[in-house]
């Protein structure tokens, strides 16, 4: 990746997005905002994963990492105290300690197994706890889990430890435990601060809970606090989004993520509880995204990619200015590690050799890890390591090439395709088909093409995923496969 970063041009200063001319706005938005595209947190996207990849592949790919590599860990905690109707995560509601303790035992077995195959002198530089709700663990369980990770992996002295947290269930005892565990970054889910919207998504959360959580975490030594907002929710208007952004600014977060709600009831059946007639249309979603961006940028936040914002001192903003921004399954990141090891139900492992996803069904995940080792007449079955990997994808040289180009386009909003091809030992013409496909959106002003340099225009930034899709030879706008682009 360092070669690509050397050839990438740093992103131009972020500008406020420019709307389509008034006369064509509705047709323009209908054509692009509602277009279904991957989020491209990986290439190929997770929709391309298949059952031909298993646990043996995951362990082999991890074992093949260069000695001394810096690693990231993602740890998935799949439990929540209640169900938010907008949620797109792999989770389940639980209000008893026994299921959580049983799952924690299985998770620790997976940690032991993966820690044992990591090459020598590899150091964990980043840990991210996601979910679900990581603070569905008790304070004692969270500290025990952190201790188990430290015992199974070598941690770099300056390792970042981050966690998503639900302010509604974050207790003073949790905050004390997180401080003792060395948490350096916390992400608090806000979504929208208005009660009328909160009722429509079944997530009542007075903003005072967010303020108390942020204050308590900072007092406990957590250096960075992030907030997550959503637009495109049922009943939401530009005024709602602007009010939520202004409230978020009052907490002085170091960075914010502003995501568009992905309504995928064919994939997440509980989203059927949302009244689809109350969902904003494409023009309104775009106006909401613009309002959030304008409000945050006016307060001094720098725009990072198409859905993140950060204060100038934040490492994410520094990486963006240096052309070193990255994109992985957590979205935009300054993470420069060579591999991301996913632990827990549904978690994804990303290595230079390929992607592996764990069993998303919590019961099946636990059964695989807690059951005695299977034996049978088939030698291959005997030799296959027990583990939760159920699907994935081995990466070809072409996959790496296209993935690198898409990452640079989404991170820098410009990519020198000839330089990317050279860095991967391909002829420059390998991208000529993509440039030909991009001509149509260039005519609509979403991108500019200069030789083999493809750049997203200010007008095209809200539609950056559409621009990235032109580099993906397998993309098709299937409405039940991906979420809308804006």
Residue 331: exposure state from Cβ atoms within 10 A (0-12, 13-18, ≥19): middle
Helices (H), 299-445: 315-321, 362-370, 379-383, 397-412, 417-423, 432-443
Tell me how far the alpha carbon of residue 476 is from its chain's centroid: 22
What is the model's pLDDT at position 380? Answer: 40
pTM, two decimal places: 0.90
What is the model's pLDDT at position 95? Answer: 85
Distances (CA, A) of 67 to 1, 62, 111, 442: 17, 11, 19, 44
Distances (CA, A) of 299 to 242, 247, 248, 360: 12, 12, 11, 40
Please provide the distance, in angstroms rounded to a whole number, between the alpha carbons at the two ends of the chain: 29
Tokens coding 424: 């991967």
Distances (CA, A) of 54 to 7, 44, 115, 334, 356: 35, 17, 17, 29, 7
Q: How many CB atoms lie within 10 A of CB 224?
A: 21
**Contact partners, residue 22, CB within 8 Å, separation at least 6:** none
What is the model's pLDDT at position 372? Answer: 72
Please name the helix (run of DSSP H) or strand (run of DSSP E) that holds residue 56, with its range, or none.
Answer: helix 55-63
Q: Pseudo-torsion of CA 460, 240, 225, 159, nearest 10°?
A: -40
Residue 76 pairs with which residues in a beta bridge? 130
What is the distance between the alpha carbons of residues 464 and 366, in angstroms, rounded to a whole number?
A: 39
Q: How many CB atoms lie within 10 A of CB 374?
A: 10
Residue 145's region, left for phi above 0, alpha for psi from -120 to 50, else beta, is alpha
What is the model's pLDDT at position 8? Answer: 30
Q: How many CB atoms lie within 10 A of CB 13?
A: 8
Query: Which regions in the chain score pLDDT beneath 50?
Result: 1-24, 374-382
Tokens coding 164: 């998503």
Length of the chain, in residues:
486
Q: Burial code of 48-83, b = ≥16 C-beta within 10 A, e = fewer?
A: ebeeebbbebbbebbeebeeebbbbbbbbbbbbeee
Angle (nearest 5°) at CA 354 between 155 and 304: 70
DSSP letters along 281-313, please?
-HHHHHHHHHHHHHHHHHTTPEEETTTEEE-TT
Q: Tens digits of per-residue pLDDT, 1-29?
A: 323 322 233 333 344 444 444 444 667 77
Residue 247: helix, strand or coil by DSSP? helix
């Amino acid at each position: 990746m360092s070669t690509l970063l050397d050839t990438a041009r740093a992103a131009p200063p972020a500008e406020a997005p420019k709307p389509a001319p008034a006369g064509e706005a509705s047709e323009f938005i209908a054509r692009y905002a509602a277009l279904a595209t991957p989020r491209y947190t990986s290439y190929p996207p997770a929709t391309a994963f298949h059952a031909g990849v298993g646990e043996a592949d995951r362990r082999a790919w991890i074992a093949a990492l260069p000695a001394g590599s810096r690693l990231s860990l993602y740890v998935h905690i799949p439990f929540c105290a209640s169900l938010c109707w907008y949620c797109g995560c792999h989770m389940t509601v639980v209000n008893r300690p026994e299921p959580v303790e049983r799952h924690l035992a299985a998770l620790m077995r997976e940690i032991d197994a993966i820690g044992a195959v990591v090459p020598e002198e590899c150091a964990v530089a980043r840990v991210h706890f996601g979910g679900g709700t990581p603070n569905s663990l008790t304070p004692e369980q969270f500290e025990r889990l952190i201790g188990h990770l430290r015992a199974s992996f070598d941690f770099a002295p300056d390792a970042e430890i981050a966690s998503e947290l639900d302010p509604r269930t974050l207790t003073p005892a949790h905050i004390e435990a997180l401080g003792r565990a060395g948490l350096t970054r916390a992400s608090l889910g806000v979504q929208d601060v208005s009660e009328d919207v909160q009722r429509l998504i079944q997530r009542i959360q007075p903003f005072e809970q967010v303020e108390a959580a942020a204050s308590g975490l900072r007092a406990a030594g957590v250096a960075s606090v992030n907030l997550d907002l959503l637009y495109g929710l049922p009943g939401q208007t530009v005024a709602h989004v602007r009010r939520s952004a202004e409230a978020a600014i009052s907490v002085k977060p170091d960075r914010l993520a502003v995501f568009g709600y992905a309504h995928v009831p064919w994939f997440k059946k509980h989203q059927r509880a949302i009244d689809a007639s109350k969902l904003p249309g494409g023009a309104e979603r775009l106006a909401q995204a613009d309002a959030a961006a304008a409000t945050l940028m006016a307060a001094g936040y720098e725009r990072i990619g198409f859905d993140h914002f950060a204060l100038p001192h934040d490492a994410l903003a520094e990486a963006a200015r240096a052309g070193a921004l990255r994109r992985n399954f957590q979205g935009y990141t300054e993470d420069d590690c060579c591999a991301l090891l996913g632990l827990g139900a549904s978690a994804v492992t990303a290595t230079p050799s390929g992607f592996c996803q764990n069993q998303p069904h919590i019961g099946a995940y636990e059964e695989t890890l807690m059951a005695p080792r299977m034996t049978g007449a088939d030698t291959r079955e005997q030799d296959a390591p027990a583990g939760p990997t159920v699907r994935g994808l081995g990466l070809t040289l072409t996959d790496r090439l296209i993935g690198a180009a898409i990452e640079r386009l989404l991170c820098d909003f410009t990519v020198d395709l000839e330089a990317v091809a050279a860095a991967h030992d391909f002829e420059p013409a390998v991208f000529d088909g993509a440039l030909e496909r991009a001509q149509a959106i260039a005519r609509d002003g979403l991108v500019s093409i200069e030789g083999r340099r493809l750049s997203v225009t200010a007008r095209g930034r809200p539609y950056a995923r559409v621009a990235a899709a032109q580099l993906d030879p397998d993309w098709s706008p299937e409405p039940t496969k991906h979420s809308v682009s804006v």
